[in-house]
């Protein structure tokens, strides 16, 4: 039976869910696919736990790591061997797939190292794919980001939704993308559904935060940077190698509130209530819905911000924290190809990473 070794980078909410799903499903994969999946290393900011044997880290250790992180300790039993040092050994012992569920571009180097060693890489972390075009790591990552490459990144846009794979299928069969429009943030979806029902914007943000739809600091969502990165990834997927600085982004964080405390920010956010409330009222009167939208078109490139969308469209009818992506192509022109569903959540995001991992694993064991 062929063994597949996994290296889990980042074991927070999503990474922990990946580990749990691997532990739970590996027996089924042995029966169904004929390969044995083990986790050879788990790495986080505090260090790495690295298996010295061929069977990977045992289930008790993996469960303790996840539970410890959940309880707030977040520590790993660090070895003297770093992940950078251990990765060549792990790859030499069996086909290896690195899963990057971290945050930030600090992991880009280990992602590139894995690819250079012949391993596969699966990302939910958007930052490495959004590095400047001038960064040499960008070309190293994107050259393997084709549908035939060893880098998979479905979970970077729409959690577990098949957005990237659908786009690749269209491109691989010779279709041409004319326009991409999407509500790519469950956070904004929840907020603007509440605003559309008549609530002030500031209260909608506080409610979304209380329900766990925002980052601990809502400005990380409201800046629009996360949506912009998703737009950039979609644009690069269709061959437009743009940078984040090329994207027109409407931030909903006033400049004078960027550096204040979270509590002060939430207290003063009501100053946007009148402006956004007026736009929401206009939308209700004109049969449209106020949404926070990403759009790519050949003439304007990527733009990100609030738009009034006709309620008669699937995008305008969207409610709550769902995501939706509309792909208008030469084949799907009058009636665009639409992908929709839950665009956030640890379980579905982890499942998106697992699906990419299984695709690579099946390729490695042929």
Active-site residue among 52, 126, 230, 291?
Answer: 230
Cβ(347)–Cβ(17) under 8 Å? yes
pLDDT in tens, 254-304: 999 999 999 999 999 999 999 999 999 999 999 999 999 999 999 999 999
230 part of the active site: yes
Please tell me whether residues 133 and 95 are part of one structural domain.
yes
Give the DSSP letter of residue 330.
S
Short-list 236, 205, 204, CA closest to 221: 205
Please tell me whether residues 201 and 224 are part of one structural domain.
yes
Please tell me whether residues 203 and 282 are part of one structural domain.
yes
Which range marks the domain in which residue 193 is found? 177-343
pLDDT of residue 173: 97
| In a domain? residue 262 | yes
| In a domain? residue 172 | no
pLDDT in tens, 294-326: 999 999 999 999 999 999 888 998 888 889 999
Measured CA to CA, the distance from residue 222 to residue 312 in angstroms comes to 26
pTM: 0.93
Please count the CA atoms within 13 angstroms of the CA of 40 that sit on its side-chain side: 27
| In a domain? residue 356 | yes
Please tell me whether residues 13 and 137 are part of one structural domain.
yes
pLDDT of residue 46: 81
Q: How far apart are the first and last CA of the chain?
A: 12
Provide CB contacts within 8 A for 313, sequence distance 6+.
none
The CATH number of the domain where 192 resides is what? 3.30.360.10
| In a domain? residue 171 | no
Please tell me whether residues 119 and 206 are part of one structural domain.
no
Q: How many domains does the chain have?
A: 2
Please tell me whether residues 27 and 42 are part of one structural domain.
yes
| In a domain? residue 166 | no
Mean pLDDT of 188-216: 92
Please tell me whether residues 215 and 69 are part of one structural domain.
no
pLDDT of residue 75: 56
Provide CB contacts within 8 A for 87, sequence distance 6+.
7, 41, 96, 98, 110, 113, 114, 117, 119
Percent of the chain exceeding pLDDT 70 equals 98
């Amino acid at each position: 039976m062929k063994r597949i070794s996994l290296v889990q980078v980042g074991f927070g909410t999503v990474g922990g869910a990946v580990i749990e799903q691997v532990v739970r499903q590996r027996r089924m994969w042995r029966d169904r696919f004929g390969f044995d999946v083990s986790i050879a290393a788990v790495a986080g900011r505090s260090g790495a736990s690295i298996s010295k044997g061929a069977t990977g880290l045992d289930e008790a250790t993996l469960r303790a790591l996840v539970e410890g992180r959940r309880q707030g300790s977040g520590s790993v039993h660090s070895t003297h061997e770093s992940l950078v040092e251990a990765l060549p050994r792990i790859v030499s012992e069996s086909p290896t797939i690195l899963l990057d569920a971290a945050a930030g571009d600090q992991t880009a180097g280990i992602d590139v190292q894995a690819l250079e060693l012949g391993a596969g890489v699966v990302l939910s972390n958007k930052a490495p794919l959004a590095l400047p075009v001038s960064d040499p790591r960008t070309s190293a990552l994107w050259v393997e980001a084709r549908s035939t490459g060893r880098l998979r990144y479905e979970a970077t846009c729409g959690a577990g939704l098949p957005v990237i794979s659908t786009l690749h299928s269209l491109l691989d069969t010779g279709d041409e993308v004319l326009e991409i429009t999407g509500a790519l943030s469950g956070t904004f979806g929840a907020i603007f559904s509440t605003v559309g029902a008549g609530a002030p914007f500031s209260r909608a943000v506080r409610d979304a935060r209380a329900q766990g739809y925002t980052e601990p600091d809502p400005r990380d969502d409201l800046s629009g940077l996360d949506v912009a990165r998703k737009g950039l990834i979609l644009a690069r997927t269709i061959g437009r190698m743009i940078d984040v600085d090329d994207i027109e982004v409407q931030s909903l964080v006033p400049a004078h509130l960027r550096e204040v405390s979270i509590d002060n920010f939430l207290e003063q956010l009501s100053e946007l209530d009148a402006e956004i409330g007026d736009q929401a009222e206009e939308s209700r009167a004109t049969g449209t819905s106020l949404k926070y939208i990403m759009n790519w078109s050949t003439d304007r490139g990527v733009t990100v911000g609030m738009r009034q969308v006709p309620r008669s469209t699937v995008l305008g009818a969207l409610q709550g924290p769902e995501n939706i992506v509309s792909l208008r192509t030469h084949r799907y022109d009058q009636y665009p190809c639409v992908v929709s569903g839950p665009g956030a959540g640890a379980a579905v995001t982890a499942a998106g990473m697992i699906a990419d991992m299984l695709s690579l694993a099946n390729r490695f064991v042929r």
